[in-house]
Amino acid sequence: MKYRSTRGKSTGLSFEEAVFEGLATDGGLYIPHSIPELNPAEIQSWATLSYPEIATNIFRKFIAQDEIPDAHLADIVARSFATFSTPEVTPLEKLPNVTTEQNNPALDNLFVLELFHGPTFAFKDVALQVLGNLFEYFLQRKNQNRPADSEAYGITVLGATSGDTGGAAIYGLRGKKNVDVFILHPKGRISSVQEQQMTSVLDPNVHNIAVEGTFDDCQDIVKASFSDDPFRRRFHLAAVNSINWARILAQTSYYFYSYFAVQKRVGSFEKSGARVQYSVPTGNFGDVLAGYYAVRMGLPIDRFIIATNENDILHRFFQTGRYEKKKTPTGDEQVKMTLSPAMDILVSSNFERLVWYLVRGDGRSSGPTAATPDAEDAKARKASESIALWMNQLKEKGGFTVPDDVLARGKELFTSFCTSDKLTADAIHRYYHHQFTSYPSPHYVLDPHTAVGVVAAEQVILTGTPTTTPTYTICLSTASPGKFPDAVLDAINNVLPHQPQSNHPTGFKPVTYADIAPSQLVALAGLPKRVVEVSTDGGDKHVGLKKVQHVVEQTVGFKFSSSK
Ligand SMILES: *Cc1c(COP(=O)(O)O)cnc(C)c1O
C-alpha cells in the first residue's frame, strides 16, 4: 500500500515515510492510494477476535508485508494495547434513558464506548501507544543495518499541546530508544491534572517545556522550528500531531470492535435489520474520520453524528456547504473557550481528508471506478487540485464553499449537532443525578467532551423521525471525567432548576475529586516533577523560538553533530 498527499504533490510514499513525515511537504495530509474493501463474510469473521487481533488485521490491510512482516505487526499492536487497564481495551457501557421522553426505543439503546482506559485516561492513547511503538520499530530497523562504527540514528519529536495530546505523546514515547520528545505547553494555562501528568514523567528522553504565553504561541514556535530547515534536518524533527496517518488507522479498530460488541449484546442484527450509528465529539476530526475509513472498508455503520461544542465550523459546514473560520464582530479569528477544551478549534485539521474523498466522488461508498489506472490517477489529481485551491482560500480568505454534490455525498453518512456549555453541564448533571429520581438505575459520570456527544445523540434521535427498525447509538467517550474535574464537579454539585435537591431521598453530599477520578490521577499531585520554563519577554515569539531551540540544543545537541 502506498500513500499520496491530499494536495497532489507527493505520491508513492511507503507507510513508514508517511508516518515519519506526518504532514506532506505540499501542506497536504497523507491518504492511502486506495481503501481496501472487505466482503461481509470477512468482516463477520472478525466478530469473535480480540481487540489486538482486529487492530492487527486492519493495519495489515494498509501496510505492505515487506514493510512490517506479520509476526512483528502483531507484536507491535499487542504491546500497544497491553498498556490499557482492560483486555477489552475500549469497553462498551449502556447508558440509562434519562431524557423526559420515555417512549422512544432509540433512547433506550444509547451506549458509551469508553476510549479512556489507556495510560493518560484520554482517547488519544489508542493512537499514540501504537505510534510510539511504530517509531521505535522503524528506528531499530534503520539502525540494524548501519556500519558498526557510526552513531545510531535518532529522532527528536517536537510538539505543542493544549492538554491531552502532550500527555498521550509523552506516555507513548517514554523510554523509547533513539527518540527524544520535547512537548511545549502554555505555562499555567492547562489543567493541573494535565500538567502533573506530563511533568511527572521522569524518563531521560522526555522533556517538558512550559512556555510563557498561549497555546498558539507554543504552536507557532513548533511550526517555526519545523520550517527552520537546518534545525529540522540536524535534529531529525518528527511530529506526532493528530494528522499523522498512523493515528487515524489505529483509531479505526474501535469502530469494528464496538460494532461487534453491540451485536453480541443484542443478538444478531440480520434478522432485525438493526442500525448502528455513532455520535462522536469532534475537534480536529481525527476520531470520526477513522470511522469513515471503517465504513469504506465495509463496516455497515448507518451514520455518524458529528458533535461539536460552540467551536462549530463542522456543524456550519454540514448546514451550508461553507467551511469558514469563526470571526469576532471586529473581524478577528476567534476560538471560544468551552467546557470541552480538547475540541476548542478554529479549523478542523483532518477534515481535509474527508473533503478529498467527497470531491473525488466518494460518499458512503466509493464512487464509480475509472476505466484504467491512469484515469483513476487523473481523478485523484483533479480532487487534489480542488483541495489545494480551497485550502488556499481558507488561508487567504478565511473559508471556502463546496458544490452541492460534494455536500450531498457528505450528508449520505454524516449529520451534525452543536452543543452549548449549558447543555453540556446539564447532561453531566442529568446522567449523574438520575440515580436519585423515581427510576433508580446506575448513574454515569460523563466527562464534558463525552457529554457533548451524548447531547448530540439525544437531540438527533429526539428530532428525527422515529423508525420501527431498532437503532443502536454508540457515543464515543473520549476522556475519563477525572481529567476535567472542574467542569464535572461543577455540573454535578450545582443544583439546576429542573433538578430540585429535594429529589435526593437522603439529601445530597457534594461529590469530590476522589469520587470521580481514577486513583492514579489523584496520586499524581504528590509526585516529583521535571519541567524547563521558558520566558518570552512578555510573549515575544522570536525570543520564545530562540530559547526553545536553545533548550533542545543543550539537552540533546551532543547526539546530533552540527555538521550533519
Ligand atoms: C482530542 C480530543 C477530542 C477531539 O478529537 P478529534 O480527533 O480532534 O476530533 C475529544 N475529546 C478529547 C478528550 C480529546 O482529547
Q: Is the CB of 247 under 6 A from ligand 1?
A: no
Atom of ligand 1 nearest to the CA of 251: 7
Q: Is the CB of 166 under 6 A from ligand 1?
A: no
Residue 34's nearest CA partner among 4, 59, 9, 58 is 4
Cα(314)–Cα(306) distance, integer angstroms: 8
Of the residues 61, 94, 124, 379, only one is catalytic, namely 124
**Residue of 335, 478, 484 best suited for mutating to test ligand 1, as the one with most atoms within 8 Å of CB:** 478
What's the 232 CA to ligand 1 centre distance in angstroms? Answer: 28
What's the 123 CA to ligand 1 centre distance in angstroms? Answer: 7
What's the 447 CA to ligand 1 centre distance in angstroms? Answer: 12
Q: Is the CB of 283 under 6 A from ligand 1?
A: yes
Q: Is the CB of 251 under 6 A from ligand 1?
A: no
What's the 546 CA to ligand 1 centre distance in angstroms? Answer: 31
- Cell numbers for 354: 474527508
Q: Is 124 a catalytic residue?
A: yes
The residue nearest atom 7 of ligand 1, judged by CA position, is 286
Q: Is the CB of 282 under 6 A from ligand 1?
A: yes
Cα(472)–Cα(300) distance, integer angstroms: 13
Cα(389)–Cα(257) distance, integer angstroms: 37
Bridge-based pairing state of the strands 110-114 and 92-94: antiparallel
Q: Is the CB of 76 under 6 A from ligand 1?
A: no
Residue-range domain boundaries for the chain: 132-143+152-241+524-556
Per-residue pLDDT tens digits of the chain, which is 564 residues long: 999 999 999 999 999 999 998 889 899 999 999 999 999 999 999 999 999 999 999 999 999 999 999 999 999 999 999 999 999 999 999 998 888 888 888 999 999 999 999 999 999 999 999 999 999 999 999 999 888 788 889 999 999 998 889 999 999 999 999 999 999 999 998 889 999 999 999 999 999 999 998 888 898 899 899 989 999 999 999 988 889 999 999 999 999 999 999 999 988 777 678 899 999 999 999 999 999 999 999 999 999 999 999 999 999 999 999 999 998 888 888 889 999 999 999 999 999 999 999 999 999 999 988 889 999 999 999 999 999 999 999 999 999 999 999 999 999 999 999 999 999 999 999 998 876 555 445 689 999 999 999 999 999 999 998 788 899 999 999 999 999 999 999 999 886 555 555 455 556 778 899 999 999 999 999 899 999 999 987 767 789 999 999 999 999 999 997 754
What's the 277 CA to ligand 1 centre distance in angstroms? Answer: 19
pLDDT of 439 reads 47
Q: Is the CB of 353 under 6 A from ligand 1?
A: no
Cα(166)–Cα(207) distance, integer angstroms: 11
The CATH code that applies to domain 132-143+152-241+524-556 is: 3.40.50.1100
pLDDT of 465 reads 84
The residue nearest atom 1 of ligand 1, judged by CA position, is 342
Characterize 30-56 residue by residue with b for buried, 16 or more Cβ atoms within 10 angstroms of its Cβ, and e for exposed.
Answer: bbbeebeebeeeebeebeeeebbbbbb
The predicted-structure confidence for 268-286, as pLDDT tens digits, reads as follows: 777 678 899 999 999 999 9
What's the 283 CA to ligand 1 centre distance in angstroms? Answer: 6
DSSP letters spanning 240-307: --TT-HHHHHHHHHHHHHHHHHHHHHH--HHHHT-EEEEEEE-SSSHHHHHHHHHHHHT----EEEEE
Q: Is the CB of 304 under 6 A from ligand 1?
A: no
What's the 286 CA to ligand 1 centre distance in angstroms? Answer: 8
Q: Is the CB of 281 under 6 A from ligand 1?
A: yes
Atom of ligand 1 nearest to the CA of 450: 11
**Residue of 29, 164, 483, 484 best suited for mutating to test ligand 1, as the one with most atoms within 8 Å of CB:** 164
Q: How far is CA 43 from CA 251, 256, 294, 316, in A?
A: 17, 9, 11, 34
